[in-house]
Amino acid sequence: MSTMSVPDARAALAVATSAAERTQRESALAELKLVRQQGADMQKEFNTVAAQVKQAEKERLVLHQQIVKARQNIEMYSRPLDPLTFPSDEEIADNARQLTLWHAHRDDLKRKYADAAQRESARLRAVQLQNALVRLRATASNLEAIASGRRPGEIAGGLFRVESFL
C-alpha cells in the first residue's frame, strides 16, 4: 500500500476526473453524430410519408364529394320519367343511358377513393416517425449538453438570482 499526500491525491483525482469527463464528452460527440445521421434519414422519410398522407387525404375528400354527387344523380335518373309529361322513347332511352353512365362513373370514383384511402393509411407510419423524431431530438439535446460539459437538462450559462428590493 502506497501512501500519498492529500494534495497529491487531490491532484491525481482531478487529473482522473478531467480525463473521464473528456472521454465522456468525446463519446457524446461521436454518439451525437450517429443520432444526427439517423435523425436526418428519419426526417427525410417522415417528410415523404407526410406529403403522401396529405395528398391522399386531399384526394379522398374531393372524391367523397364527387361520390355523393354521383349518388344523387343516380337517384335522380333511377326515378321513372313522369308519364304525365308524355316522355318519348328517345327521352326514356337517354334517361337509361345517363343512369348507366352515372353508375360507371360512381364505380370509377369508388376505386379511386379506395386507392386514396389505402395511400392515406400510411398515417400510422408518419405518426410513428414523428414520435421517434421527438425522442431523437431529446436524445440529441442531452448528448449536446454532455458534449459541451453540462449535464442533461442544465441550462447553458446557468441561472442568475434576482433579489427582491421590496
Q: Point out the least confidently predicted range of 7-11, 94-98, 100-104, 118-122.
A: 7-11
**What cell numbers appear for 49 in the block?**
410519408
Mean pLDDT of 9-37: 92
Q: Which DSSP string corresponds to 125-164?
A: HHHHHHHHHHHHHHHHHHHHHHHTTPPTTPPTT-------
Q: pLDDT tens digit string along 101-126? A: 999 999 999 999 999 999 999 999 99
Domain ranges within the chain, ordered by starting residue: 7-146
The model's pTM:
0.74
pLDDT score, position 154: 76
